Amino acid sequence: METLLPLAILLIVSLLLCVGILAVTQILGPKRPVPMQLSTYECGVKPEGGSHVPFKSSFYLVAVLFLLFDVEAAFFLPWALVYKNSLAEGPALFWALIVYLGLMAIGLFYILRKNILRLN
């Protein structure tokens, strides 16, 4: 618990910093809003159209694939931790890695070949 106390203090101090920055801008800044200033900025021309983006599936696919590979990478971490010391007891972990990495590489290869992310 002693190690977590400075972390808790850091969290509180950062929150105070954020609140402080917000308070300073509210107090110190002038407030003279003008309609032109408050509308959205499109390089000086009048803003047109709604403010929504047409749906591009590649964004969604990047996020989903990142999720899957992040889970796989999260499994690499405990493997890396115990790998060095486990070599004394034989190559079990080495072959576990080969299988695991092989399957992950198949997935990656599949993504790249089928051009799922439109990477041409």
Partner 1 sequence: MVFAIFSVFTLLTAAGVILSRNVIYSALNLVLCFFGLATLYLLWGATFISMIQILIYAGAIVVLFVFVVMLLNFEKPIDQSVKLPLMLLSGAGAWGLAFLLLRVLSKSVGEIPILESNSGASVRTVSKLLFSQYVWPFEVLTIFLLALIVGIYVLAKPEGEEKK
Partner 2 sequence: MNGLDFLIAALKAIVILVAVIQVVPVMIYVERKVAALIQDRPGPNRVGPFGLFQPVADALKFLLKEDPIPHYTNRLLYTLAPFLSLLPACLVIAALPIADKAILFGREVTIQIAELDVSLIYILAIGSLGVYGILFGGWASNNKYSLIGSLRSASQMVSYELPLGLAAVGAVMVFGTFSLREMVLQQEGTLLGFLPNWGIFYQPVGFLIFLISSFAETNRLPFDLPETEAELVAGFHTEYGSMKFATFFMAEYMNLATMAGLMTVMYFGGWHLPWITDAALLELLGSQNLLCLVQVLTYIVKVSCFMFLYVLIRWTLPRFRFDQLLSLSWGSLIPLGLLNIIVSATLMYLIGVKQ
Q: Helices 92-114 & 57-86, crossing angle to 10 degrees?
A: 160
The minimum distance between CB 113 and partner 1, in angstroms, equals 10
Helix (H, G, I), strand (E, B) or coil at 68: helix
23 binds, among partner 2, partner 1, none (CB under 5 to 8 A by kind): none
Nearest to 26 by CA among 18, 36, 35: 18
Q: Where in 61-100 is the site for partner 2 (CB under 8 A)?
A: 62-63, 65-66, 69-70, 73-74, 76-77, 80-81, 83-85, 87-88, 91, 94, 97-98
Considering the rule CB under 8 A, would residue 57 count as an interface residue with partner 2?
no
CA atoms within 13 A on the CB side of 74: 6
Interface contacts to partner 1, rule CB under 8 A: 4, 52-53, 55-57, 59-61, 63-68, 70-72, 74-75, 77-79, 81-82, 86, 92-93, 96, 99-100, 103-104, 106-107, 110-111, 114-116, 118
For residue 41, what are the contacts with CB-CB under 8 A and spacing of at least 6? Answer: 47
Considering the rule CB under 8 A, would residue 103 count as an interface residue with partner 2?
no
Cα separation of 74 and 66, whole Å? 12
